[in-house]
Amino acid sequence: MTKPRWVAETFVLLTEDAPRTGYTVKRGDDVIVDLYHDAGWTKREVRTHARLIAAAPDLLAALREFVADVDAVGVEAVGEDWPDLILTYKCAKAALAKGEA
Protein backbone atom coordinates (compact mmCIF):
# COMPACT_ATOMS: atom_id res chain seq x y z
CA MET A 1 0.00 0.00 0.00
CA THR A 2 1.39 3.42 -0.93
CA LYS A 3 1.45 6.20 1.59
CA PRO A 4 -0.79 9.18 0.86
CA ARG A 5 1.09 12.12 -0.70
CA TRP A 6 1.61 15.34 1.18
CA VAL A 7 -0.52 18.16 -0.20
CA ALA A 8 -0.90 21.88 0.55
CA GLU A 9 -4.46 23.17 0.68
CA THR A 10 -5.83 26.68 1.20
CA PHE A 11 -8.05 27.18 4.22
CA VAL A 12 -9.99 29.90 6.00
CA LEU A 13 -10.28 29.72 9.77
CA LEU A 14 -13.13 31.73 11.26
CA THR A 15 -12.14 33.29 14.57
CA GLU A 16 -13.82 35.83 16.84
CA ASP A 17 -11.43 38.58 15.70
CA ALA A 18 -11.33 38.00 11.95
CA PRO A 19 -11.03 35.19 9.44
CA ARG A 20 -7.50 33.82 9.13
CA THR A 21 -6.40 32.42 5.83
CA GLY A 22 -3.46 30.21 5.15
CA TYR A 23 -2.42 26.76 4.03
CA THR A 24 -2.56 23.41 5.69
CA VAL A 25 -0.16 20.65 4.70
CA LYS A 26 -1.74 17.20 4.96
CA ARG A 27 -0.90 13.58 4.34
CA GLY A 28 -4.22 11.89 3.80
CA ASP A 29 -6.37 13.06 6.71
CA ASP A 30 -3.35 13.84 8.93
CA VAL A 31 -2.46 17.52 9.27
CA ILE A 32 1.30 18.07 9.18
CA VAL A 33 1.29 21.84 9.71
CA ASP A 34 -0.90 24.94 9.33
CA LEU A 35 0.68 28.14 8.03
CA TYR A 36 -0.95 31.58 8.29
CA HIS A 37 -0.12 34.65 6.26
CA ASP A 38 -0.72 36.92 9.23
CA ALA A 39 2.21 35.36 11.08
CA GLY A 40 4.56 37.91 9.49
CA TRP A 41 4.72 36.28 6.05
CA THR A 42 3.06 37.47 2.88
CA LYS A 43 0.42 35.27 1.25
CA ARG A 44 2.93 34.33 -1.45
CA GLU A 45 5.55 33.32 1.14
CA VAL A 46 3.03 31.19 3.01
CA ARG A 47 1.97 29.47 -0.21
CA THR A 48 5.63 28.85 -1.11
CA HIS A 49 6.48 27.48 2.35
CA ALA A 50 3.45 25.20 2.33
CA ARG A 51 4.28 23.83 -1.12
CA LEU A 52 7.92 23.25 -0.13
CA ILE A 53 6.84 21.39 3.01
CA ALA A 54 4.41 19.32 0.94
CA ALA A 55 7.21 18.52 -1.53
CA ALA A 56 9.71 17.61 1.22
CA PRO A 57 9.28 13.81 1.05
CA ASP A 58 9.80 13.84 -2.74
CA LEU A 59 12.77 16.20 -2.47
CA LEU A 60 14.35 13.99 0.19
CA ALA A 61 13.90 10.90 -1.97
CA ALA A 62 15.45 12.67 -4.97
CA LEU A 63 18.46 13.78 -2.91
CA ARG A 64 18.95 10.27 -1.56
CA GLU A 65 18.85 8.83 -5.07
CA PHE A 66 21.22 11.49 -6.44
CA VAL A 67 23.76 10.83 -3.68
CA ALA A 68 23.44 7.07 -4.11
CA ASP A 69 23.96 7.39 -7.88
CA VAL A 70 27.08 9.52 -7.45
CA ASP A 71 28.38 7.12 -4.80
CA ALA A 72 27.79 4.18 -7.15
CA VAL A 73 29.71 5.81 -10.02
CA GLY A 74 32.35 7.30 -7.76
CA VAL A 75 32.78 10.93 -6.82
CA GLU A 76 36.17 11.11 -8.52
CA ALA A 77 34.79 9.74 -11.81
CA VAL A 78 31.92 12.21 -11.75
CA GLY A 79 34.28 15.08 -10.92
CA GLU A 80 36.49 14.38 -13.93
CA ASP A 81 33.63 14.91 -16.37
CA TRP A 82 31.63 17.45 -14.40
CA PRO A 83 33.63 19.27 -11.67
CA ASP A 84 30.69 21.45 -10.59
CA LEU A 85 28.72 18.33 -9.72
CA ILE A 86 31.09 17.64 -6.81
CA LEU A 87 29.89 20.85 -5.11
CA THR A 88 26.28 19.87 -5.79
CA TYR A 89 26.98 16.40 -4.35
CA LYS A 90 28.51 17.92 -1.19
CA CYS A 91 25.54 20.26 -0.79
CA ALA A 92 23.13 17.33 -1.23
CA LYS A 93 24.96 15.28 1.40
CA ALA A 94 24.91 18.24 3.82
CA ALA A 95 21.18 18.77 3.23
CA LEU A 96 20.52 15.07 3.86
CA ALA A 97 22.54 15.16 7.07
CA LYS A 98 20.61 18.22 8.22
CA GLY A 99 17.24 16.70 7.32
CA GLU A 100 17.97 13.33 8.87
CA ALA A 101 19.67 14.54 12.06
pLDDT, tens digit, 9 for 90 and up, residues 11-56? 776 667 767 778 888 888 888 888 877 667 788 888 888 888 889 8
> What is the total count of domains within the chain?
1
For residue 95, what are the domain limits?
6-99
48: phi then psi, degrees, rounded to nearest 5? -65, -45
pTM of the model: 0.73
In a domain, 72, yes or no: yes
Backbone angles phi, psi at 65, to 5 degrees: -65, -40
Q: Which residues of 83-101 are buried (b: 16+ CB within 10 A; e: fewer)?
A: eeeeeebeebbeeeeeeee
Domain-embedded: residue 1: no
